[in-house]
Structure 1
């Protein structure tokens, strides 16, 4: 006897949005009448702006991934860390709910965790930790952390650090990798020395075009000497003033799980370039080819490919400056507010890789109208920007706060993640947070 395979409502909306509307809520086109009542019953409240809800759109209350909702099957239990969303235990990966990012400078407690291998042993003497700079340099350097701090100018900067797969969960069809919502982002206050100062001391040869980074994190296979990840960047990014060899976070030692005692911080570009437990920087005469480079690893298509198709990445390019994105930190997705609430005071953060944020807008009527928020200047280059603003609500009911940012080049977050790729990099679609009033 054959058995018919049933699809979830999320799968139905992904595969055939128009049919999904008809099956789930009995609507085709504008939401009204019995269809409006059906959807209101599903979300548990009247939908004041229901007529504006785009056809083929599942309410955010049901469609946002668990990680984006601030609730998930498992929560990280770790001393010194807040209730982060556990994305995986081997390797350890954990996401920060957007409401825990409601602080101008991200605390160590609330900083997300992204690992590719194991966590190395705590060094007995952090000052004795050694870093090697070799390859296309005139004078290879082997230097301790203590010597780094004494020999080179020490600087402190607020810097955004974001996983290249942030927002991966919003791609459809689903891609490989940890299903991050919007919370694989931080804006810590990092203290260290500029990588360019150390590279200049080593003396770059004219042949130096790229770096390759190595850390002490053991490979999950247990194979000695096998790197878990070894990514690299163009030498021009390595020479920027905000690319740091960091040894303190928010004035204290970096937590071990976040890369102590020494890590790279390469702000604005994928966090995989911010090598943790840093032991070596290999200056190369060609683009680096270590684990995490080439193919589809941290790379995106030059020309769009069919979503869900396989591809070897031959025509892809490295993901460098991260795309514009915003978070809402004042209200959790799924929040229930008191009856009679007629306005929302919103706040959050926005950033745009190497660029700055020009504007942030929010909507509570499914994108029919948008209210411009106030956007603060960044504390320094490569720091995120905080935003605030108020939106009005006409009555009790079910609302969605849609929020989007626009970068300094005029590029706005798209309605849906664009440029689908097999590993889900750079997905920065407009986010939607469900709010119920009354």
Structure 2
């Protein structure tokens, strides 16, 4: 009679993390005899004996700071997609990587990007591929809401208009934009509003981004405020509405893929630009060329690709992607998993939340036996705010070490950080990274303010490292 083959703890974490958590933390170890030790054990859950041995086997080595590991924590080695790590001769195999999205296969894009969706095309950049101060074009994430616009035979002849609550509606070709106005170049954050969505529990709607829906390229263009001044804003100008050449997924020419807008004050901020170059070259079609908006620090849906029109309005815009729960977050907490329509106690997303990532090493990194010190680096950003500090922990948050912050090139550039961490012995470690913004807030341990569309999740970055 055939016997049922049980999955290993590693396989359980890969295939069924909730059951794996129950297997490890649901059993009870030998109960300590009262006092503080008993209370600590109760808080932590099961961390000793056979359960700890099983978890150590699942992550590929002894968990060095197991005594500080929070109860119920899914190890980073099992919780995040990671590239496979080959074992050195004579060593045990590395922990199995969780099932992740397939790699993106698209002309001009790096193979390591992860394909989240192919209609519309959406691809994420793993954190370790964001290790450049200026994000290369081939490593820049991809986010579309409709079909990709048709190729432009003569990009400089493509035109867009600025109309509505202006004294003199403006029509400009890309060539005229370049020749008539003074261009600026800034290194600017561009981040999807749903970045971090996969952190929410229960799962929210939409693409399950990790932390990689972010890029910081050098964008060249004309400040939008210069164009608005040329058109002459009326006193009634309050909001913008944006339109592009991307066809709706249905093919219906009467429907917009997305048409969002922003308060006029953000449109007049000098780093909000109508861009025609990315990293010194014409913007590639996949990234919105020949001309697009860049609205740094706010949801990327406000940085409209393939720009055709900016409508100046006397009231908030009501295009596709506005209202309800679209790019809106609760102003009053709601029960996670609630089916709400966003008509009450919701507000448009504006400044993106604080976030920090480690970019020098990938999740699941395997280091040589005897490694005791390691130089690391990464990036941090905070929307309209500044990043004040970045801290790193290697002992599940018991202690934190401050990292060095480099000066940004300009406002809305991300802050690159660097420093060194130490390891007392070989084994399994988790490196946790958290930032603090200029309002004094730190990144949280877990995503808060659950919402149906999954906006604003910004818990700190965790990666697994195995030494020896």
Shorter-normalised TM range = over 0.9
2:52 paired with 1:33: no
Aligned-CA RMSD value: 2.2
2:134 paired with 1:76: no
Match of 1:282 among 287, 293, 311: 311
Distance change (3 Å), C-alpha of 1:204 and 1:24: farther
Tell me how far apart the structure 2 counterparts of residues 47 and 70 of structure 1 sit (CA, whole Å): 19
Match of 1:22 among 4, 12, 26: 26
1:50-61 correspondence runs (5 A)? 50-61=66-77
2:26 alignment partner, SS class: helix
Match of 2:349 among 302, 319, 328: 319
1:191 alignment partner, SS class: strand
Alpha-carbon deviations, 1:190-239, whole Å to 9, x = none?
00000000011111111110000000000000001321000000000000
The higher radius of gyration belongs to 2
2:78 alignment partner, SS class: helix
Tell me how far apart the structure 2 counterparts of residues 262 and 161 of structure 1 sit (CA, whole Å): 15
TM-score relative to the length of structure 2:
0.88
Alpha-carbon deviations, 1:380-436, whole Å to 9, x = none?
000001000111001110100000111111111000011110010111001110111
2:266 paired with 1:256: no
Structure 2: 5+ residue stretches without partners: 1-6, 31-40, 84-96
Tell me how far apart the structure 2 counterparts of residues 351 and 411 of structure 1 sit (CA, whole Å): 13
Do 1:335 and 1:434's aligned partners in 2 also have CA atoms closer than 8 Å? Answer: yes
Tell me how far apart the structure 2 counterparts of residues 375 and 423 of structure 1 sit (CA, whole Å): 33
Match of 1:171 among 200, 203, 219: 200
1:57-136 correspondence runs (5 A)? 57-64=73-80, 72-83=100-111, 84-136=113-165
Match of 2:460 among 423, 430, 437: 430
Do 2:29 and 2:49's aligned partners in 1 also have CA atoms closer than 8 Å? Answer: no
Q: Which residue does the alignment assign to 1:3?
A: none
TM-score relative to the length of structure 1:
0.94
Q: How far off is 1:369 after superposition?
A: 0.5
Tell me how far apart the structure 2 counterparts of residues 16 and 416 of structure 1 sit (CA, whole Å): 19
Q: Which residue does the alignment assign to 2:265?
A: 236
Q: Which residue does the alignment assign to 2:170?
A: 141
Q: Which residue does the alignment assign to 1:206?
A: 235
Tell me how far apart the structure 2 counterparts of residues 374 and 25 of structure 1 sit (CA, whole Å): 42
Q: How far off is 1:24 after superposition?
A: 10
Structure 1: 5+ residue stretches without partners: 1-5
2:400 paired with 1:370: yes
Distance change (3 Å), C-alpha of 1:70 and 1:214: farther
